[in-house]
């Protein structure tokens, strides 16, 4: 290998190392700045985060990864933090229904009237929702999405076959063409409400998970929702 080739190779290698080091330093600085800002916000040192304007936030939805949902301590801390902020309605979601299993016994009460047998987080949620009446909590899972839309579709189909008025009015007919049912958004909303899968649309959806998506949260409740 000639000397110029070696010089070029060493130069390119050194340049790659410098670029890699610069990117790593920028990433580290960004991570440190983010953690510092979070610490300052939590401690209340940043004035602009002391008085949050939550008047327009009527419904808040939180999507949690099912593995993280098992950490009841963090979930409990999150809910109490939201309560102190003045949030009135919270919808908790995880795809496997872990939150449902944890919270529903404490919210509905036990058969033997001994709620102490349940997890502390369930008892705390019961106190929040049933006693203080300061925050309403809804727990849903992936079954409310897939099974809900399937049940709504079956209801619309059976209603159309049975000749119900609200579906027959939306049948599109053309000459020499077989009649095809046309279901509107209103029809679907009515069907979802009939099977108990309808609910208020959250103003804000917070996602805590490995993927940047809503993880199966019912999409018909996200028409005008901001996702973070």
94 and 134 housed in the same domain? yes
59 and 86 housed in the same domain? yes
Phi, psi (rounded to 5 degrees) for 128: -65, -45
61 and 157 housed in the same domain? no
For residue 6, the model assigns a pLDDT of 85
14 and 127 housed in the same domain? no
Q: Which two tokens stand for residue 41?
A: 């916000």
For residue 131, the model assigns a pLDDT of 40
187 and 205 housed in the same domain? no
Q: CATH number, domain at 223?
A: 3.40.50
Q: Which two tokens stand for residue 110?
A: 């036990």
95 and 203 housed in the same domain? yes
Which band of pLDDT confidence, cut at 50, 70 and 90, is reported for residue 17?
very high
The answer to whether residues 185 and 166 touch, using CB atoms and an 8 Å cutoff, is no
For residue 179, the model assigns a pLDDT of 58
Reply yes or no on whether the pLDDT at 176 is more than 50: no
Range of the domain at 76: 52-141+198-227
Mean pLDDT highest for which of 14-28, 53-67, 74-88, 178-192?
14-28
d(Cα 157, Cα 180) in Å, to the nearest integer? 12
Tell me the pairing of strands 171-174 and 136-141.
unpaired
Of 15, 34, 51, which one is at a domain's C-terminal end?
51
* Closest among 59, 61, 58, 135 to 94, alpha carbons compared: 61
The number of folded domains in the chain is 3
112-161 pLDDT, tens per residue? 444 333 334 444 444 444 444 577 888 888 877 777 778 877 888 887 77
């Amino acid at each position: 290998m000639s000397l110029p080739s070696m010089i070029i190779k060493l130069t390119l290698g050194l340049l790659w190392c410098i670029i890699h080091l610069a990117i790593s330093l920028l990433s580290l600085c960004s991570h440190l700045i983010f953690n510092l800002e979070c610490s300052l916000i939590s401690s209340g040192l940043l004035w602009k985060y002391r008085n949050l304007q939550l008047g327009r936030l009527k419904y808040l939805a939180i999507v949690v990864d099912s593995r993280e949902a098992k950490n009841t301590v963090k979930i409990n801390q999150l809910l109490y933090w939201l309560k102190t902020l003045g949030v009135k309605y919270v919808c908790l979601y995880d795809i496997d229904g872990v939150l449902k299993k944890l919270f529903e016994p404490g919210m509905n009460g036990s058969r033997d009237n001994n709620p102490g047998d349940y997890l502390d987080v369930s008892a705390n949620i019961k106190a929040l929702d049933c006693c203080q009446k300061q925050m309403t909590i809804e727990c849903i899972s992936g079954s409310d999405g897939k099974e809900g839309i399937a049940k709504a579709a079956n209801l619309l189909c059976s209603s159309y076959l049975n000749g119900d008025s609200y579906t027959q009015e939306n049948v599109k007919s053309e000459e020499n063409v077989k009649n095809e049912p046309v279901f509107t958004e209103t029809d679907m909303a009515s069907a979802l409400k009939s099977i108990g899968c309808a609910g208020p649309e959250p103003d804000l959806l917070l996602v805590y998970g490995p993927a940047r998506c809503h993880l199966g949260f019912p999409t018909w409740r996200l028409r005008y929702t901001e996702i973070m």
